[in-house]
Amino acid sequence: MMHRAVKVCIRSLRRVTLRNNRAFQTAAGFGAAREDPMAYDSNNIFARILRGDAPCIRLSESETTLAIMDVMPQSDGHVLVIPKEPAVEIYELSVQAGADCIGEVQRIAAAVRTALAPDGLLIAQFNGAAAGQTVPHVHFHVIPRWSGQELRLHAREMAPREQLEATAERIRRALDAQSR
């Protein structure tokens, strides 16, 4: 059984450590309430695309989501599904916006499978820089996979626009066929 004085000392040490950690986070610009320094930036590339201030290759759009070609694809046919609601991570996204995104991810995944006939399909969503999130706006990756083909590195190399447009056209045709 732990002695009472030791328990009091441990509690006191925890309070001091927590207080110092909060002070450090605030001084470093992280804010006391948030461990992850990523905050919503209304000038992030997806916010700019959603406002029409930056170009993209659109596949489909609804009132709540936008599906575009990833300009730095990990695989041919890599698509991003972006909610129009501003949120950095999935925890901040409303339940309705999350549901709308998943519905669109499912529709895009089916179109990618029809258009490109991959051996498999990777669906991914990253939260925080430590997880690999590079844009501070929630988004979902739909990445076709072929056996024996390695993925390219995430967010590293731009694909030629002509190649992206040609792949997008194939996916759009599959989306149109779904609607009939």
Burial class (CB in 10 A: 0-12, 13-18, 19+), 140: buried
The verdict on whether 78 is a catalytic residue reads: no
Same domain flag for 101 and 29: no
Q: The tokens of 172 are what?
A: 């759009």
From CA 110, how far away is CA 123, in angstroms rounded?
A: 12
pLDDT higher than threshold 70 for residue 64: yes
Q: What is the pTM of this model?
A: 0.79
Domain span at 123: 45-179
8 A C-beta contact, residue 164 and residue 80 = no
Tell me, yes or no, whether 51 and 122 share the same domain: yes
Domain count, the chain: 2
Catalytic site residue from 137, 139, 141, 154:
139
Does 51 lie in the same domain as 28? no
User: By percentage, how much of the chain surpasses pLDDT 70?
Assistant: 79
Q: Are residues 137 and 51 in the same domain?
A: yes
Compute the distance between CA of residue 82 and CA of residue 50 in angstroms, rounded to an integer.
9
Judge if 123 and 145 occupy the same domain.
Answer: yes
In this prediction, residue 26 carries a pLDDT of: 39
- 40, part of any domain: no
Environment class of 10 (CB within 10 Å of its CB; exposed 0-12, middle 13-18, buried 19+): exposed
Q: Looking at the structure, do residues 130 and 64 belong to the same domain, yes or no? A: yes
Q: Does 16 reside within a domain?
A: yes
User: Greater confidence, 154 or 89?
Assistant: 89
CATH code for the domain in which residue 169 is found: 3.30.428.10
Question: Phi-psi category of 4—alpha, beta or left, where left has phi over 0 and alpha has psi -120 to 50?
Answer: alpha
